[in-house]
Amino acid sequence: MRALVVVGARPNFMKVAPVLAALRGAGWEALLLHTGQHYDAAMSDAFFADLSIPPPDFHLGVGSASHASQTARIMEAFEPVLLATRPDWLVVVGDVNSTLACALVAAKLKEETGCRTAHVEAGLRSHDWRMPEEVNRVLTDRLSDLLLTPGPDALPNLLAEGIPANRVAFVGNVMIDTLFAQLSRARAADVPGRLGVERGRYALVTLHRPSNVDDPAALENVLEALAAVAEEMPVVFPVHPRTRRRAEAAGLHAHLARLCVLEPLGYRDMLSLTDGAAVVLTDSGGLQEETTALGVPCVTLRERTERPVTITHGTNRLAPFPLTPSGVYGAFREALAAGRAEPGSRCPAGWDGRAAERIVHAMESASTPGRPPRRLTVADFVS
């Protein structure tokens, strides 16, 4: 069996690493394609190195552009690769533009190629159609043949959209496979120590959503809140290139100067910092899950989350919306008071380091002629 696995942007790499290894371990021919949506060494190469991902078999080199241009460029460049490689399965992960673009090409060519699409991290919904990722999530799920869900909240979302249950397999959270596999090396890297901050006594921040950084007033609000946090403890802030550009354009350098600002970090260094933080403040999707797995309190700087299980089971909370300096600071204080939980103790079902194994199993079972994919349940995860 041949699979063509797609990556494009930073949050894809840690999801694909265990899937690629599990497919190859099970005897699949697994080809890797990088769209080039993210291209800076810190946003891409560092993850390949940290996660020992082999160099991609194909690199489309599309780079940055408007949503429409980026999506269209990926589609145009991806079509000939799909036609030339004719895999049995296309594997797409997450909710970035690369995910949707490749799933759409495969759906258009399905009659011709027979290639089916498996979507890893299917069924998450913020119900906020203004988020580009929500558009990508809904459309990718509609286009895919096998929907591999990470947690218990995904299946009801898919059923509500009329997707038949036999296209869905609950496999668990593959990003957590990578987290547990890398945790001891991340701790040994001791990034807090190298930065001179004390484990459990600093806040860690990430910020890159257009809703927080593209509007200067919104960005200023969040940076003011961070300045209040910085009065109490060091605030470590690896800055996404988009955020740095926006802050510079809005003349907000002075706000950044009060924080411990870093370039974007590789996977292991970021995990080392997350694991050691007193509180994480973020608008990332992945960090909401990583903090839940690690038992670190998290404040999500968004109106809604597509990962509500991190609030109901985990260590996450939403800052009051619209974001204000006092609202964000208040949420930080609450998170700090809640304190850390034992790593692994707040993990939802299927966040156990074995999701990639179950993904391969679900793909194999869906590949057997005449046999519908077996519905996996939580019972499958009890070892």
Give Cβ neighbours of residue 177 (< 8 Å, ≥ 6 apart). Answer: 18, 353, 354, 355, 356
Question: Smallest gap, in angstroms, from Cβ of residue 9 to ligand UD1?
Answer: 4
Of 56, 200, 216, 241, which lies in the binding site for ligand UD1, with binding defined by CB under 6 A? 241
Task: Measure CA of the first residue to CA of the last residue in the chain; give whole Å.
Answer: 28
Of 38, 116, 268, 307, which lies in the binding site for ligand UD1, with binding defined by CB under 6 A? 38
Question: Smallest gap, in angstroms, from Cβ of residue 124 to ligand UD1?
Answer: 12
Residue 56 sits in the site that holds ligand UD1 (CB under 6 A): no
Lookup: tokens for 18: 């265990």
**Shortest CA distance to 351 belongs to which of 183, 186, 177?**
177
Lay out the site mask for ligand UD1 across 89-118 (x = CB under 6 A, - = otherwise).
------xxx---------------------
Please say if 313 is a catalytic residue: no
Instruction: Select 85 or 173, whichever has its Cβ closest to ligand UD1.
Output: 173
Residue 64 sits in the site that holds ligand UD1 (CB under 6 A): yes
Instruction: Select 241 or 330, whichever has its Cβ closest to ligand UD1.
Output: 241
Write down the catalytic residue from 34, 38, 119, 208: 208
Q: Please state, in angstroms and rounded to a whole number, the distance separating the CA atoms of residues 148 and 108.
A: 21
Q: How far is CA 375 from CA 226, 355, 372, in A?
A: 45, 15, 9
Which residues lie across from 298 on neighbouring strands?
A: 280, 316
Strands of the sheet containing 146-149, edge to edge, are 58-59, 29-34, 2-7, 89-93, 116-120, 146-149, 168-170
Amino acid of residue 262: L
Of 59, 242, 313, 374, which lies in the binding site for ligand UD1, with binding defined by CB under 6 A? 242
Instruction: Select 26 or 43, whichever has its Cβ closest to ligand UD1.
Output: 43
**Shortest CA distance to 265 belongs to which of 285, 243, 237?**
237
Residue 12 sits in the site that holds ligand UD1 (CB under 6 A): no
Instruction: Select 36 or 348, whichever has its Cβ closest to ligand UD1.
Output: 36
Residue 291 sits in the site that holds ligand UD1 (CB under 6 A): no
- DSSP H or E run through 360: helix 355-367
Question: Smallest gap, in angstroms, from Cβ of residue 354 to ligand UD1?
Answer: 25
Question: Smallest gap, in angstroms, from Cβ of residue 57 to ligand UD1?
Answer: 20
Residue 354 sits in the site that holds ligand UD1 (CB under 6 A): no
CA atoms within 13 A of residue 191's CA, in its CB half-sphere: 24
Question: Which residues participate in catalysis according to the annotation?
Answer: 208
Binding stretches for ligand UD1 (CB under 6 A): 9-11, 37-40, 43, 64, 95-97, 132-133, 208, 240-242
